[in-house]
């Protein structure tokens, strides 16, 4: 017994020492408010706000109603994105208001919420231990930073409180960890103007607000301009909204537009129509989505409440029909039936539970994907995702953002989409490695080919990039596509071809005037027959989709239809001599297409 007691006491001492050692780890703190760059995701007017975590610009003060201005100080929809290989992350901050509300917990009102992406683009949620006091603190421990392909860490997204104003905030990681704040994304955002439901009531935590869920599903910046009880389609607010170059405007204000002594249903109809026309005047080509009232869970037993939302939805349908009749294009309506909330979807009969928030997000995703022409399938090659498989070579998101910037500054004539075989061939944007730089310069530079190749890309990664604006805002003469070899070990030929079909459709939707050249995949050592069979399918797909096809990689084979090892660096990537051979072949084909 004495020996057991001694061992037990010794175990307690060791555990205490281990805990103290963890507590004493030196922490490096990052305060976004003190950063020289703009890093608040979801902020529509970066650099123009009165305080770091406000949503409306400071010039809105005194222009919008005081209630709207005060609610715009809440950090709903704002987040911080960063990359780190830390094994623990600590967040500490202070808010101005009460931590909780009677119908919404402190974790939603005032909490933060941490998500991350794997190297394959899959989302992960992290559990934090939190304490709510004068300074709120979340601790995320026992994080394994190793990824499947590397140990360089991962991308994180920290959602900020939904219903409180953040005074200050710091994120801490151990001093020996890498911490890299990520800059604002340049893709056009989804802009939401709405009520308390879009503001975030009553999500259990910030990542469960439907706007947050939708932002992850669409993987696109989202601007949350919802103001609890004050989403009233006001001209002053819409004037600021029209300043934004949005991918789509979402108007979800009906729950705050019920008839009152001062506002009739005819007034509601006029507010809807005026608001849409106000946006359309400033933004003539941006899609607009009107949203019906989602209903009340007690509508079946409360005749007045039932009549309220049924009347509003009838008026919304009438206004929508009138707008269409007036000739307004690219306006859409999301109905109550499509939102499909049930009796169990509400906390208090009005505001969604987490279940209701998920239902909202699913309905929105379905509607937005149809409007924006961004369909998804059920197999991996048809589900667009990001990737970060070789950060030691290049930042995947950084290259994507660089291309968006280059395309805005100077439209490319020919866009060459591919993986590392294209990426490390040569050209611009410049890569850390160029195995065929002389070939690119001699054969492709003069044709003004821009390199849209990304190392380690698969079909689904190219689909994501096309959905995320890489072919928007300009008219190309030609698009060249060679992708799929990195799917070889994961997918069947049929799955790869299904993904390629979606990529072709996405290209045609965005570049209808461009000639599309589909290239066969290059041969691979010991897999020549698989590549040959796959290319037969790719050629047939090209014929079915009425696009051009060429197998320039055939010049890399010997007389026995095996790879010519003298033309490869590793059995997959051509060396300088190999790139010269395929470069000449591609040059001739592209020249023929420009005649």
Task: Answer yes or no: is pLDDT of 38 > 80.
Answer: no
pTM: 0.94
Instruction: Report yes or no on 16 lying in a domain.
Output: no
Per-residue confidence at 155, pLDDT binned at 50, 70, 90?
Answer: very high
**365 plus 222 within the same structural domain:** yes
For 318, the token pair is 């009438």
The answer to whether 470 touches 397, Cβ cutoff 8 Å, is no
Instruction: Report yes or no on 2 lying in a domain.
Output: no
Check residue 8 and give its pLDDT: 54
Check residue 181 and give its pLDDT: 95
**166 plus 105 within the same structural domain:** yes
**357 plus 402 within the same structural domain:** no
**363 plus 422 within the same structural domain:** no
Q: What is the pLDDT of residues 275-307, one digit of tens each?
A: 999 999 999 999 999 999 999 999 999 999 999
Rounded average pLDDT over 256-266? 88
Q: How many helices (H) and strands (E) does the chain have?
A: 17, 21
Q: In what order do the strands lie in the sheet with 288-291?
A: 222-226, 190-194, 248-252, 288-291, 331-334
Task: Answer yes or no: is pLDDT of 10 > 90.
Answer: no
Rounded average pLDDT over 358-384? 98
- Picking from 167, 182, 197, the residue at the C-terminal end of a domain is 182
Tokens 């930073």 correspond to 145
Per-residue confidence at 259, pLDDT binned at 50, 70, 90?
Answer: confident
**322 plus 437 within the same structural domain:** no
**195 plus 59 within the same structural domain:** no
- Which residues have a Cβ under 8 Å from the Cβ of 337 and sit 6 or more positions away? none
Domain count across the chain: 3
Per-residue confidence at 19, pLDDT binned at 50, 70, 90?
Answer: very low
Rounded average pLDDT over 469-474? 97
**137 plus 197 within the same structural domain:** no
- The DSSP code sequence of 219-236 is TS-EEEEE-TT-----HH
Instruction: Report yes or no on 17 lying in a domain.
Output: no
Per-residue confidence at 5, pLDDT binned at 50, 70, 90?
Answer: low
Instruction: Report yes or no on 5 lying in a domain.
Output: no
Give the separation between CA 117 and CA 391, rounded to whole angstroms. 13
Q: What is the dihedral of CA 106, 107, 108, 113, to 10 degrees?
A: 150
Check residue 523 and give its pLDDT: 97
Q: What is the pLDDT of residues 504-513, one digit of tens each?
A: 999 999 999 9
The answer to whether 522 touches 421, Cβ cutoff 8 Å, is yes
**266 plus 199 within the same structural domain:** yes
**358 plus 402 within the same structural domain:** no
Give the separation between CA 359 and CA 439, rounded to whole angstroms. 52
Check residue 593 and give its pLDDT: 67
Check residue 1 and give its pLDDT: 45
- Picking from 133, 159, 182, the residue at the C-terminal end of a domain is 182
Give the separation between CA 465 and CA 580, rounded to whole angstroms. 28
Check residue 594 and give its pLDDT: 54
Rounded average pLDDT over 112-139? 97
For 242, the token pair is 């029209």
**302 plus 416 within the same structural domain:** no
Instruction: Report yes or no on 272 lying in a domain.
Output: yes
Question: Residue 350 in 3-state DSSP?
Answer: coil
Rounded average pLDDT over 556-582? 96
Instruction: Report yes or no on 554 lying in a domain.
Output: yes
Per-residue confidence at 185, pLDDT binned at 50, 70, 90?
Answer: very high
Check residue 258 and give its pLDDT: 87
Structural domain containing residue 331: 185-372
Q: What is the pLDDT of residues 404-429, one digit of tens each?
A: 999 999 999 999 999 999 999 999 99
Give the separation between CA 415 and CA 513, rounded to whole angstroms. 13
Give the separation between CA 562 and CA 554, rounded to whole angstroms. 10
For 67, the token pair is 């209630």
Instruction: Report yes or no on 516 lying in a domain.
Output: yes
Task: Answer yes or no: is pLDDT of 274 > 50.
Answer: yes
CATH number of the domain to which 283 belongs: 3.40.50.1110
Q: Which of 292, 312, 300, 307 is nearest to 343 (CA)?
A: 300
Check residue 25 and give its pLDDT: 80
Q: What is the pLDDT of residues 426-440, one digit of tens each?
A: 999 999 999 999 999
**460 plus 560 within the same structural domain:** yes
- Picking from 126, 148, 182, the residue at the C-terminal end of a domain is 182
Q: Is 452 exposed, middle or buried (CB count within 10 Å of its CB: 0-12, 13-18, 19+)? A: buried
Mean predicted lDDT score pLDDT of the chain: 94
Q: What is the pLDDT of residues 512-556, one digit of tens each?
A: 999 999 999 999 999 999 999 999 999 999 999 999 999 999 999
**522 plus 567 within the same structural domain:** yes
Check residue 21 and give its pLDDT: 46
Instruction: Report yes or no on 365 lying in a domain.
Output: yes
Task: Answer yes or no: is pLDDT of 566 > 90.
Answer: yes
């Amino acid at each position: 017994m004495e020996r057991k007691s001694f061992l037990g006491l010794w175990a307690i001492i060791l555990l205490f020492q281990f805990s103290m050692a963890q507590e004493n780890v030196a922490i490096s703190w990052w305060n976004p408010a003190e950063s020289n760059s703009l890093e608040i995701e979801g902020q529509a007017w970066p650099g123009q706000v009165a305080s770091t975590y406000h949503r409306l610009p400071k010039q809105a003060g005194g222009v919008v109603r005081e209630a709207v201005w005060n609610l715009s100080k809440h950090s709903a929809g704002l987040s911080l994105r960063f990359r780190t290989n830390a094994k623990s992350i600590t967040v500490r901050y202070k808010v101005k208001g009460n931590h909780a509300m009677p119908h919404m917990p402190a974790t939603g009102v005032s909490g933060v919420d941490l998500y991350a992406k794997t190297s394959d683009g899959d989302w992960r949620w992290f559990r934090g231990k939190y304490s709510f006091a004068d300074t709120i603190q979340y601790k995320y421990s026992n994080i394994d930073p190793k990824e499947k392909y590397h140990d360089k860490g991962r991308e994180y997204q920290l959602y900020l409180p939904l219903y409180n104003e953040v005074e200050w905030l710091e994120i801490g990681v151990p001093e020996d960890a890498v911490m890299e704040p990520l800059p604002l994304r340049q893709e056009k955002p989804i802009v939401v103007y709405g009520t308390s439901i879009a503001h975030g009531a009553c999500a259990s935590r910030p990542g469960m607000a439907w706007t947050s869920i939708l932002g992850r599903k669409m993987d696109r910046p989202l601007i949350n301009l919802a103001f609890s009880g004050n989403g009233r389609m006001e001209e002053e607010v819409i004037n600021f909204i029209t300043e934004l170059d949005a991918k789509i405007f979402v108007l979800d204000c009906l729950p705050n537009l019920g008839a009152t002594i001062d506002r009739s249903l005819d007034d509601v109809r006029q507010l809807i129509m005026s608001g849409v026309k106000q946006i359309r005047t400033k933004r003539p080509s941006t899609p607009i989505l009107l949203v019906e009232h989602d209903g009340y869970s007690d509508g079946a037993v409360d005749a007045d409440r039932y009549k309220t939302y049924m009347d509003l939805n009838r008026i919304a349908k009438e206004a929508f029909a009138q707008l269409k009749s007036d000739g307004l294009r690219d306006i859409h309506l999301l109905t109550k039936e499509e939102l499909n909330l049930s009796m169990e979807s509400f906390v208090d009969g009005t505001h969604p539970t987490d279940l209701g928030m998920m239902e909202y997000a699913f309905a929105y995703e379905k509607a937005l994907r149809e409007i924006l022409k961004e369909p998804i399938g059920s197999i991996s090659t048809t589900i667009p995702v990001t990737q970060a498989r070789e950060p030691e070579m290049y930042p995947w998101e950084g290259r994507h953002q660089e291309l968006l910037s280059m395309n805005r500054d100077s439209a490319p004539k020919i866009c060459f989409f591919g993986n590392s075989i294209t990426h490390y061939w040569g050209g611009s944007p410049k890569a850390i490695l160029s195995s065929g730089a002389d070939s690119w310069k001699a054969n492709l530079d003069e044709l003004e080919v821009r390199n849209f190749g990304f190392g380690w890309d698969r079909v689904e990664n190219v689909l994501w990039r096309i959905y995320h604006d890489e072919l928007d805002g300009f008219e190309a003469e030609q698009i060249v596509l060679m992708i799929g070899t990195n799917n070889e070990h994961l997918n069947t030929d049929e799955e790869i071809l299904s993904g390629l079909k979606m990529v072709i459709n996405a290209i045609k939707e965005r570049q209808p005037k461009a000639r599309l050249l589909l290239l066969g995949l290059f041969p691979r050592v010991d897999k020549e027959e698989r590549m040959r069979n796959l290319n037969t399918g790719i050629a047939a797909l090209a014929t079915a989709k009425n696009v051009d096809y060429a197998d320039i990689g055939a010049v890399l084979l010997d007389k026995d239809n095996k790879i010519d090892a003298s033309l490869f660096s590793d059995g997959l990537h051509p060396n300088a001599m190999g790139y010269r051979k395929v470069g000449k072949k591609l040059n001739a084909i592209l020249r023929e297409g420009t005649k």
